[in-house]
Structure 1
Amino acid sequence: MVAPAETESESVPIRPGGWTAEDVLAFSEDQFPGQRVELVDGALLVSPAPSSGHQRLLHRLQLQLAAALPEGAELLPGVNVRLGGKRLLVPDLALVARAGMETPCYDESDVLLAAEIESPSTRLRDRGLKLTLYAEAMVRYYLLVDPELKAATLFELGTGEYVPIARSQSGRIELTRPFETTVDLTG
Protein backbone atom coordinates (compact mmCIF):
# COMPACT_ATOMS: atom_id res chain seq x y z
CA MET A 1 0.00 0.00 0.00
CA VAL A 2 1.26 3.46 -0.88
CA ALA A 3 1.12 6.17 1.76
CA PRO A 4 -0.94 9.19 0.73
CA ALA A 5 1.08 12.12 -0.53
CA GLU A 6 1.18 15.23 1.57
CA THR A 7 -0.91 18.04 0.28
CA GLU A 8 0.82 21.22 -0.76
CA SER A 9 -0.47 23.03 2.32
CA GLU A 10 1.12 20.37 4.60
CA SER A 11 4.56 20.38 2.96
CA VAL A 12 4.98 23.90 1.54
CA PRO A 13 2.98 26.84 2.82
CA ILE A 14 1.04 28.78 0.20
CA ARG A 15 2.44 32.24 -0.53
CA PRO A 16 0.06 34.61 -2.33
CA GLY A 17 2.04 36.48 -4.98
CA GLY A 18 4.84 33.90 -4.91
CA TRP A 19 7.99 33.46 -2.90
CA THR A 20 11.01 35.77 -2.96
CA ALA A 21 14.70 35.02 -2.54
CA GLU A 22 14.52 36.66 0.89
CA ASP A 23 11.70 34.29 1.88
CA VAL A 24 13.70 31.24 0.85
CA LEU A 25 16.85 32.45 2.60
CA ALA A 26 14.80 32.91 5.78
CA PHE A 27 13.63 29.26 5.87
CA SER A 28 14.97 27.33 8.85
CA GLU A 29 17.37 24.51 8.07
CA ASP A 30 14.89 21.94 9.33
CA GLN A 31 12.00 23.17 7.17
CA PHE A 32 13.20 21.07 4.20
CA PRO A 33 15.61 18.54 5.77
CA GLY A 34 17.86 16.79 3.29
CA GLN A 35 16.41 18.64 0.30
CA ARG A 36 17.62 21.37 -2.00
CA VAL A 37 15.27 24.34 -2.28
CA GLU A 38 15.45 26.64 -5.29
CA LEU A 39 13.21 29.46 -6.49
CA VAL A 40 12.11 30.24 -10.04
CA ASP A 41 9.80 33.18 -10.69
CA GLY A 42 8.25 32.92 -7.24
CA ALA A 43 7.74 29.12 -7.33
CA LEU A 44 9.67 26.76 -5.06
CA LEU A 45 11.55 23.86 -6.66
CA VAL A 46 12.36 21.21 -4.08
CA SER A 47 14.58 18.29 -5.03
CA PRO A 48 16.08 15.43 -3.03
CA ALA A 49 19.58 15.64 -1.65
CA PRO A 50 22.21 14.37 -4.10
CA SER A 51 23.17 10.69 -3.95
CA SER A 52 26.51 9.51 -2.60
CA GLY A 53 27.75 8.79 -6.15
CA HIS A 54 26.81 12.31 -7.17
CA GLN A 55 28.68 13.69 -4.16
CA ARG A 56 31.79 11.62 -4.92
CA LEU A 57 31.85 12.92 -8.49
CA LEU A 58 31.35 16.47 -7.21
CA HIS A 59 34.28 16.03 -4.82
CA ARG A 60 36.57 14.73 -7.61
CA LEU A 61 35.48 17.56 -9.90
CA GLN A 62 36.12 20.15 -7.20
CA LEU A 63 39.60 18.78 -6.40
CA GLN A 64 40.63 18.74 -10.06
CA LEU A 65 39.32 22.24 -10.80
CA ALA A 66 40.73 23.71 -7.57
CA ALA A 67 44.27 22.80 -8.60
CA ALA A 68 44.05 25.23 -11.55
CA LEU A 69 42.02 28.10 -10.07
CA PRO A 70 43.07 31.65 -10.84
CA GLU A 71 44.06 33.77 -7.85
CA GLY A 72 41.14 35.43 -6.12
CA ALA A 73 38.62 32.79 -7.24
CA GLU A 74 37.03 30.08 -5.12
CA LEU A 75 35.05 26.90 -5.83
CA LEU A 76 32.07 26.31 -3.57
CA PRO A 77 29.62 23.39 -3.64
CA GLY A 78 25.90 23.94 -3.13
CA VAL A 79 25.80 27.70 -2.48
CA ASN A 80 22.79 29.93 -3.03
CA VAL A 81 22.98 32.13 -6.12
CA ARG A 82 20.46 34.95 -6.47
CA LEU A 83 19.28 35.64 -10.01
CA GLY A 84 17.05 38.62 -9.26
CA GLY A 85 14.34 38.92 -6.60
CA LYS A 86 12.29 35.83 -7.49
CA ARG A 87 15.04 33.46 -8.63
CA LEU A 88 17.50 31.59 -6.42
CA LEU A 89 19.43 28.58 -7.69
CA VAL A 90 21.83 26.21 -5.96
CA PRO A 91 24.41 24.93 -8.45
CA ASP A 92 26.28 21.77 -7.55
CA LEU A 93 29.47 23.81 -7.82
CA ALA A 94 30.04 27.54 -8.28
CA LEU A 95 33.23 29.33 -9.23
CA VAL A 96 32.99 32.69 -7.52
CA ALA A 97 35.15 35.71 -8.19
CA ARG A 98 35.45 36.87 -4.58
CA ALA A 99 37.28 34.25 -2.55
CA GLY A 100 36.64 34.15 1.18
CA MET A 101 33.45 36.21 1.09
CA GLU A 102 31.03 35.27 3.91
CA THR A 103 27.47 35.40 2.64
CA PRO A 104 24.32 33.27 2.70
CA CYS A 105 23.84 34.04 -0.99
CA TYR A 106 25.98 35.10 -3.94
CA ASP A 107 24.70 37.48 -6.59
CA GLU A 108 24.82 36.32 -10.21
CA SER A 109 27.58 38.87 -10.90
CA ASP A 110 29.84 37.05 -8.37
CA VAL A 111 29.59 33.73 -10.24
CA LEU A 112 32.02 33.03 -13.10
CA LEU A 113 30.93 29.42 -13.65
CA ALA A 114 27.99 27.33 -12.48
CA ALA A 115 28.36 23.55 -12.68
CA GLU A 116 25.56 21.00 -12.53
CA ILE A 117 25.92 17.23 -12.28
CA GLU A 118 22.85 15.59 -13.75
CA SER A 119 20.81 13.09 -11.79
CA PRO A 120 17.56 11.37 -12.72
CA SER A 121 15.54 13.91 -10.73
CA THR A 122 17.34 16.99 -12.12
CA ARG A 123 18.37 16.05 -15.67
CA LEU A 124 15.66 18.00 -17.51
CA ARG A 125 16.00 20.99 -15.19
CA ASP A 126 19.81 21.06 -15.58
CA ARG A 127 19.73 20.73 -19.38
CA GLY A 128 16.91 23.20 -19.98
CA LEU A 129 15.68 25.47 -17.23
CA LYS A 130 18.98 26.08 -15.42
CA LEU A 131 20.91 26.49 -18.66
CA THR A 132 18.43 29.19 -19.70
CA LEU A 133 18.28 30.92 -16.31
CA TYR A 134 22.06 31.12 -15.88
CA ALA A 135 22.36 32.53 -19.42
CA GLU A 136 19.66 35.14 -18.71
CA ALA A 137 21.57 36.10 -15.55
CA MET A 138 24.75 36.41 -17.64
CA VAL A 139 26.77 33.79 -15.75
CA ARG A 140 29.66 33.50 -18.18
CA TYR A 141 30.26 29.73 -18.06
CA TYR A 142 28.06 26.68 -17.44
CA LEU A 143 29.52 23.19 -16.99
CA LEU A 144 27.06 20.32 -17.43
CA VAL A 145 28.21 16.86 -16.33
CA ASP A 146 26.44 13.60 -17.20
CA PRO A 147 27.74 10.96 -14.76
CA GLU A 148 26.03 8.06 -16.56
CA LEU A 149 27.93 8.78 -19.79
CA LYS A 150 31.03 10.12 -17.99
CA ALA A 151 30.63 13.16 -20.22
CA ALA A 152 30.72 16.91 -19.78
CA THR A 153 30.12 20.02 -21.85
CA LEU A 154 31.39 23.50 -21.05
CA PHE A 155 29.23 26.33 -22.36
CA GLU A 156 30.25 29.97 -22.72
CA LEU A 157 27.80 32.82 -22.86
CA GLY A 158 27.51 34.18 -26.37
CA THR A 159 24.89 36.70 -27.47
CA GLY A 160 22.30 35.98 -24.79
CA GLU A 161 22.66 32.19 -24.91
CA TYR A 162 25.23 29.52 -24.20
CA VAL A 163 27.46 28.07 -26.89
CA PRO A 164 29.33 24.79 -26.25
CA ILE A 165 33.08 25.43 -26.29
CA ALA A 166 34.43 22.12 -24.92
CA ARG A 167 33.11 18.56 -24.83
CA SER A 168 34.60 15.58 -23.10
CA GLN A 169 36.17 12.75 -25.03
CA SER A 170 36.80 9.35 -23.45
CA GLY A 171 35.76 10.71 -20.07
CA ARG A 172 38.11 13.71 -20.09
CA ILE A 173 37.38 17.35 -20.79
CA GLU A 174 40.08 19.86 -21.67
CA LEU A 175 39.26 23.38 -20.53
CA THR A 176 40.95 26.47 -21.89
CA ARG A 177 38.46 28.88 -20.31
CA PRO A 178 37.77 30.23 -17.71
CA PHE A 179 41.17 28.69 -16.89
CA GLU A 180 43.23 25.85 -18.29
CA THR A 181 42.91 22.37 -16.88
CA THR A 182 41.93 18.83 -17.76
CA VAL A 183 39.19 17.07 -15.80
CA ASP A 184 38.99 13.27 -15.70
CA LEU A 185 35.39 12.13 -15.17
CA THR A 186 36.19 8.43 -15.11
CA GLY A 187 37.17 8.37 -11.44
Structure 2
Amino acid sequence: MTVMVEHEGSSYTVEDLEGMPDDGRRYELVDGHLLVSPAPGYRHQKIVLKLGALLDASCPEDLAVLPAPFAVQPSGKTELQPDLLVGRHADFTEKLLPVAPLLAVEVLSPSTGIRDLTIKKNAYERMGVISYWVIDPQEPVLAAFELDPEGCYRQVAEVQGEKPFDATLPFPVRVVPAELLGTLWDGESE
Protein backbone atom coordinates (compact mmCIF):
# COMPACT_ATOMS: atom_id res chain seq x y z
CA MET A 1 0.00 0.00 0.00
CA THR A 2 1.26 3.49 -0.87
CA VAL A 3 1.01 5.93 1.97
CA MET A 4 1.01 9.72 1.72
CA VAL A 5 2.46 11.13 4.94
CA GLU A 6 2.09 14.65 6.33
CA HIS A 7 5.08 16.13 8.19
CA GLU A 8 4.20 17.65 11.54
CA GLY A 9 4.12 21.45 11.28
CA SER A 10 5.42 21.72 7.71
CA SER A 11 6.12 19.77 4.58
CA TYR A 12 9.04 17.44 3.89
CA THR A 13 12.13 18.47 1.96
CA VAL A 14 14.63 16.42 0.00
CA GLU A 15 17.00 16.67 2.97
CA ASP A 16 14.42 14.75 5.05
CA LEU A 17 14.70 11.84 2.60
CA GLU A 18 18.32 11.27 3.69
CA GLY A 19 17.03 10.18 7.10
CA MET A 20 14.55 7.63 5.81
CA PRO A 21 15.31 3.98 6.66
CA ASP A 22 16.94 1.67 4.12
CA ASP A 23 14.08 -0.81 4.38
CA GLY A 24 13.30 -1.72 0.76
CA ARG A 25 10.50 0.82 0.47
CA ARG A 26 10.60 3.70 -1.99
CA TYR A 27 10.45 7.19 -0.45
CA GLU A 28 9.48 10.02 -2.79
CA LEU A 29 8.29 13.62 -2.42
CA VAL A 30 5.73 15.56 -4.41
CA ASP A 31 5.38 19.19 -3.37
CA GLY A 32 6.57 18.35 0.14
CA HIS A 33 4.24 15.36 0.61
CA LEU A 34 5.99 12.08 1.36
CA LEU A 35 4.98 9.03 -0.69
CA VAL A 36 6.03 5.64 0.70
CA SER A 37 5.67 2.50 -1.44
CA PRO A 38 6.54 -1.13 -0.75
CA ALA A 39 9.13 -3.06 -2.74
CA PRO A 40 7.83 -4.04 -6.19
CA GLY A 41 6.74 -7.55 -7.18
CA TYR A 42 7.98 -10.10 -9.70
CA ARG A 43 5.93 -9.08 -12.79
CA HIS A 44 6.74 -5.43 -12.13
CA GLN A 45 10.48 -6.10 -11.98
CA LYS A 46 10.40 -8.37 -15.05
CA ILE A 47 8.84 -5.54 -17.08
CA VAL A 48 11.31 -2.96 -15.76
CA LEU A 49 14.24 -5.23 -16.68
CA LYS A 50 13.01 -6.08 -20.19
CA LEU A 51 11.87 -2.54 -21.04
CA GLY A 52 15.10 -1.07 -19.69
CA ALA A 53 17.14 -3.40 -21.91
CA LEU A 54 14.94 -2.60 -24.94
CA LEU A 55 15.24 1.16 -24.38
CA ASP A 56 18.97 0.94 -23.76
CA ALA A 57 19.53 -0.98 -27.00
CA SER A 58 17.78 1.78 -29.02
CA CYS A 59 19.01 4.76 -27.02
CA PRO A 60 21.08 7.42 -28.83
CA GLU A 61 24.59 7.96 -27.45
CA ASP A 62 23.78 11.38 -25.93
CA LEU A 63 21.00 9.88 -23.76
CA ALA A 64 20.97 7.45 -20.84
CA VAL A 65 18.40 4.94 -19.58
CA LEU A 66 18.34 4.29 -15.82
CA PRO A 67 16.11 2.21 -13.53
CA ALA A 68 14.88 3.14 -10.06
CA PRO A 69 16.09 4.01 -7.60
CA PHE A 70 17.55 7.10 -9.24
CA ALA A 71 16.29 10.49 -8.11
CA VAL A 72 14.68 13.11 -10.30
CA GLN A 73 14.95 16.18 -8.08
CA PRO A 74 13.76 19.39 -9.76
CA SER A 75 13.28 21.23 -6.43
CA GLY A 76 13.82 20.99 -2.71
CA LYS A 77 10.23 19.79 -2.22
CA THR A 78 9.97 17.22 -5.04
CA GLU A 79 11.98 14.05 -5.66
CA LEU A 80 10.60 11.19 -7.72
CA GLN A 81 12.10 7.85 -8.72
CA PRO A 82 10.40 6.62 -11.88
CA ASP A 83 10.72 2.88 -12.54
CA LEU A 84 12.69 3.84 -15.67
CA LEU A 85 13.86 7.18 -16.97
CA VAL A 86 15.62 8.55 -20.02
CA GLY A 87 17.66 11.73 -19.76
CA ARG A 88 20.46 13.59 -21.47
CA HIS A 89 23.95 12.57 -20.29
CA ALA A 90 24.80 16.25 -19.85
CA ASP A 91 21.92 16.74 -17.37
CA PHE A 92 22.88 14.03 -14.86
CA THR A 93 24.95 14.51 -11.74
CA GLU A 94 26.54 11.51 -10.03
CA LYS A 95 23.62 11.27 -7.58
CA LEU A 96 20.54 12.61 -9.37
CA LEU A 97 18.82 14.21 -12.32
CA PRO A 98 18.06 17.85 -11.36
CA VAL A 99 15.87 18.50 -14.42
CA ALA A 100 12.93 16.74 -16.04
CA PRO A 101 13.79 13.48 -17.79
CA LEU A 102 12.77 13.10 -21.43
CA LEU A 103 10.83 9.93 -20.56
CA ALA A 104 9.49 8.64 -17.26
CA VAL A 105 8.01 5.14 -17.03
CA GLU A 106 5.93 3.79 -14.15
CA VAL A 107 4.89 0.13 -13.92
CA LEU A 108 1.67 -0.13 -11.95
CA SER A 109 1.23 -2.29 -8.90
CA PRO A 110 -1.87 -2.70 -6.73
CA SER A 111 -0.42 -0.26 -4.20
CA THR A 112 0.81 2.42 -6.65
CA GLY A 113 -1.66 2.41 -9.55
CA ILE A 114 -3.87 5.32 -8.53
CA ARG A 115 -0.87 7.40 -7.43
CA ASP A 116 1.00 6.76 -10.70
CA LEU A 117 -2.02 7.81 -12.77
CA THR A 118 -2.79 10.95 -10.75
CA ILE A 119 -0.21 12.45 -8.36
CA LYS A 120 2.91 11.34 -10.22
CA LYS A 121 1.44 11.96 -13.67
CA ASN A 122 0.54 15.52 -12.64
CA ALA A 123 4.01 16.05 -11.14
CA TYR A 124 5.74 14.82 -14.31
CA GLU A 125 3.49 17.05 -16.42
CA ARG A 126 4.34 20.13 -14.29
CA MET A 127 8.06 19.24 -14.50
CA GLY A 128 7.87 19.14 -18.30
CA VAL A 129 8.60 15.43 -18.84
CA ILE A 130 7.81 15.23 -22.57
CA SER A 131 6.81 11.56 -22.56
CA TYR A 132 5.23 9.51 -19.75
CA TRP A 133 4.45 5.82 -20.06
CA VAL A 134 2.34 3.78 -17.65
CA ILE A 135 2.36 -0.01 -17.89
CA ASP A 136 -0.16 -2.33 -16.27
CA PRO A 137 1.67 -5.65 -15.87
CA GLN A 138 -1.49 -7.68 -15.31
CA GLU A 139 -3.04 -7.15 -18.76
CA PRO A 140 -0.32 -6.13 -20.03
CA VAL A 141 -1.21 -2.63 -21.28
CA LEU A 142 1.00 0.35 -22.11
CA ALA A 143 -0.50 3.86 -22.10
CA ALA A 144 1.66 6.67 -23.46
CA PHE A 145 1.19 10.37 -22.76
CA GLU A 146 3.01 13.27 -24.40
CA LEU A 147 3.04 16.97 -23.66
CA ASP A 148 0.99 19.05 -26.06
CA PRO A 149 1.97 22.62 -27.07
CA GLU A 150 0.23 23.99 -23.95
CA GLY A 151 2.30 21.72 -21.68
CA CYS A 152 -0.53 19.31 -20.85
CA TYR A 153 -0.45 15.55 -21.26
CA ARG A 154 -2.54 13.97 -23.97
CA GLN A 155 -2.75 10.24 -24.41
CA VAL A 156 -1.11 9.27 -27.70
CA ALA A 157 -1.38 5.49 -27.44
CA GLU A 158 -2.80 2.58 -25.51
CA VAL A 159 -1.72 -0.87 -26.63
CA GLN A 160 -2.39 -4.24 -25.09
CA GLY A 161 -0.89 -7.70 -25.35
CA GLU A 162 0.85 -8.30 -28.66
CA LYS A 163 -0.07 -4.97 -30.24
CA PRO A 164 3.03 -2.80 -30.77
CA PHE A 165 3.60 0.80 -29.69
CA ASP A 166 5.92 2.62 -32.06
CA ALA A 167 7.29 5.42 -29.91
CA THR A 168 8.90 8.46 -31.47
CA LEU A 169 9.73 10.30 -28.24
CA PRO A 170 12.29 10.54 -26.86
CA PHE A 171 13.64 8.32 -29.67
CA PRO A 172 12.18 5.68 -32.01
CA VAL A 173 11.57 2.32 -30.37
CA ARG A 174 8.94 -0.41 -30.76
CA VAL A 175 7.44 -1.77 -27.55
CA VAL A 176 5.15 -4.81 -27.41
CA PRO A 177 3.63 -5.14 -23.91
CA ALA A 178 3.39 -8.96 -24.03
CA GLU A 179 7.10 -9.25 -24.86
CA LEU A 180 7.95 -7.34 -21.68
CA LEU A 181 6.57 -10.26 -19.66
CA GLY A 182 8.53 -12.91 -21.54
CA THR A 183 7.47 -16.38 -20.39
CA LEU A 184 4.95 -14.84 -17.95
CA TRP A 185 2.74 -13.85 -20.91
CA ASP A 186 -0.01 -16.40 -21.41
CA GLY A 187 -1.95 -14.59 -24.15
CA GLU A 188 -5.28 -14.98 -22.32
CA SER A 189 -5.65 -11.33 -21.30
CA GLU A 190 -6.54 -9.99 -24.75
**How much has 1:160 moved relative to structure 2?**
2.5
| Mapped contact 1:108–1:139 kept (Cα < 8 A) | no
Q: Which residue of 1 aligns with 2:80?
A: 89
Map 1:16-27 to 2 at 5 A: 16-24=9-17, 26-27=18-19
Return 5+ residue gaps in structure 1 as ranges: 1-11
Q: Give the alignment's Cα RMSD to 1 decimal.
A: 2.1
Q: Which residue of 1 aligns with 2:108?
A: 118
SS at match of 1:34: coil
Q: Which residue of 2 aligns with 1:7?
A: none
**1:185 aligned residue (174, 177, 181):** 177
Count of residue pairs brought into register by the alignment: 172
Q: Which residue of 2 aligns with 1:43?
A: 33
Identity across aligned pairs (percent)?
Answer: 37
| Structure 1 residue ranges (4+ consecutive) displaced by more than 4 angstroms after TM superposition | 12-15, 99-102
**How much has 1:166 moved relative to structure 2?**
2.6
Distance 2:52 2:143 in 1: 16
Q: Which residue of 2 aligns with 1:9?
A: none
TM-score by length of 2: 0.82
Q: Which residue of 2 aligns with 1:166?
A: 157
Q: Residues 99 and 84 from structure 1, CA distance in 2 versus in 1: closer, same or farther, beyond 3 angstroms?
A: closer
Q: Which residue of 1 aligns with 2:125?
A: 135
- Which amino acid counterpart does residue 111 of structure 2 have in structure 1? S
- Which amino acid counterpart does residue 9 of structure 2 have in structure 1? P
- Which amino acid counterpart does residue 21 of structure 1 have in structure 2? V
**How much has 1:107 moved relative to structure 2?**
1.5
- Which amino acid counterpart does residue 22 of structure 1 have in structure 2? E
TM-score by length of 1: 0.84
Return 5+ residue gaps in structure 2 as ranges: 183-190
Q: Which residue of 1 aligns with 2:168?
A: 176
User: For 1:105-157, what per-residue CA distance to the aligned partner results, in whole angstroms no more than 9, with x for missing partners?
Assistant: 21133x11100000000000111111111001111110111111211022111
**1:98 aligned residue (89, 92, 96):** 89
Q: Which residue of 1 aligns with 2:44?
A: 54
